[in-house]
Amino acid sequence: GAATPTWTKLTSGLPASGFTRISLGISPSSSQTLYALIANGSYLVNGFYRTTNGGTSWTAIPLPGGNIGGQGFYNLNVAVDPTTPDIVFLSGISCWKATRSMANVWSFTDVGGAFHPDNHAFAFDPTNHLKVYAGSDGGIYKSSDGGVTWTDSINEGLCIMQCEFIDQHPSSDAVIFSGTQDNGTEQFRNSPIFNHADDGDGGYCAVDKTTPNNVLSTYYGNSPKRSTAGGKFGTWMTVSGGIGGPGLFYPPMALDETNSNNAAFGTDRINLDAAQGTGGWTTQVTLPGMSGNVSAIYYPNSSLIYAGTSTGKVYRLVKSGATWTATAIAA
């Protein structure tokens, strides 16, 4: 509350280097007790520390197997039970419950196995500490017994799905495919409940406008896949073989609007295939002065492609005979 607050770097018992992201949890019932959950330089969540004197000194608490998983750049959180400083929840890829005994022995239980991975948030009911909520890439999960069992029923009606890209059936407004962040490829079928088409992450989608049973989608990275059964779950086959160059987490993909057999996939170049990726992406067009990655593709006809990049460049690709020529039209 000072007009000019002062800060003191806390070092006693904490690592001096080799760490990146840190999450702090303060005990509501014992304000001098804090916990720090720390990710190392590779974002492995391998540091767990406790102070009982407001941060003056810290003690390391060994984690099971030395760590609770990776992706500390993305999923990392620590929350302390409001009634006791000796129960702590750790959010990582999964969700863990740490309990301290009277003999100062810590036990860890993976309580997140029943629900969606990549955990980010945690909250307690203010009137009942056994009623807890975990927030992850799959939404909100609720436990009424301190993390022993969970239900996702609280998600019903909560429209939080992160749709990355969509494409629509050429003749039916009731069929739309969407790639969703960490919840796979989903298919809208004119129902509030989407049909799950494929697992994992979901990036770009493309529906063949001539033969709509042919659908393409991506996972993440250079991972296009194709279904010839209208996107039915379990019918996807990878068509990534032959793609050159590094791409974005969700690289762009597009079909030729005048001949949907022709597909384009963007990395640090434009990869082209005349059989929706099944032909090995044998045509690769480099972009002059390219930096970064292709971030958007528009394929209006068989001789013309426009591409945008992550560094703000725009290119026009024109085909003459069998040769594609790329020209920067904005930088």
In this predicted model, what pLDDT tens digit does every residue of 247-261 receive, in sequence order?
999 999 999 999 999
pLDDT value at residue 277: 97
**Average pLDDT per consecutive 10 residues, the chain (331 residues; last block may be shorter):** 90 93 96 96 96 96 94 95 97 96 94 90 95 92 94 84 91 92 89 88 94 95 96 96 96 97 98 97 96 96 97 96 93 62
pLDDT value at residue 57: 96
The Cα 209–Cα 262 span in angstroms is 12
- Label the pairing between strands 176-180 and 184-188: antiparallel
pLDDT value at residue 331: 62
Closest by Cα among 23, 12, 27, 16 to 45? 23
pLDDT value at residue 266: 97
pTM: 0.75
pLDDT value at residue 192: 81
The Cα 199–Cα 234 span in angstroms is 9
- Provide, rounded to the nearest whole percent, the portion of the chain with pLDDT above 90: 86
Which residues, at least 6 apart from 226, have a Cβ–Cβ distance to it below 8 Å? 214, 215, 216, 236, 237, 239, 276, 277, 278
205: left (phi over 0), alpha (psi -120 to 50) or beta: beta
pLDDT value at residue 29: 95
pLDDT value at residue 202: 92
